[in-house]
Amino acid sequence: MELNNKKAYYEYFFEDTFIAGIVLAGTEIKSLRTGKASFNDSYCAFFKGELFVRSLHISEYAFGTYTNHEPMQERKLLLNKKELKKLESKTKEKGYSIIPLRLFINDKGLAKLEIGLGKGKKHFDKRDTIKERDVDRDVKRKYGL
């Protein structure tokens, strides 16, 4: 199971990426294993020195009872102190954001979130991205790569 945030690559330039653990409830991990999550407008923010992901929608588990989770709750991310300090200092600079890029389950069965330290693109940068993608697609189509 792997979910990608394609919109993030269109909206941001990414300088650095990190793999973070994510704190989940029992019904959340069951929903993730069925692929019921969405990245719409999700972002990461610091609160009291800890990193949280906000607006990450994980649907309620179909077979859950009264113990089911809230779909849009904040979820804590697990990184080491060195990485947290680096991210916190960068986000204090103008224009930098921490954006979730990929949600996956690793070989050990643990949910991981790949986050990127990104700087927003301007409108003309987005047009360049579209142009490069079209050129790559045409080359692959022409030469059968």
Enumerate domains of the chain plus CATH numbers: 2-143 (2.40.280.10)
Whether residue 81 contacts residue 74, with contact meaning beta carbons closer than 8 Å, is answered with no
Structure tokens at 126: 């987005």
Tens-place pLDDT, residues 45-64: 999 989 999 988 888 877 77
Per DSSP, what are the bridge partners of residue 51? Answer: 46
pLDDT at 7: 87
Could you report how far apart the first and last alpha carbons of the chain are, in Å?
Answer: 27
Tens-place pLDDT, residues 85-141: 999 998 888 888 999 999 999 999 899 999 999 998 887 788 888 898 899 999 999
| pTM, 2 dp | 0.81
**Using 50, 70 and 90 to split pLDDT, how confident is the model at 22?**
very high
Q: Give 65 or 97, the one with higher predicted confidence.
A: 97
Separation CA 65–CA 13 (nearest Å) = 42
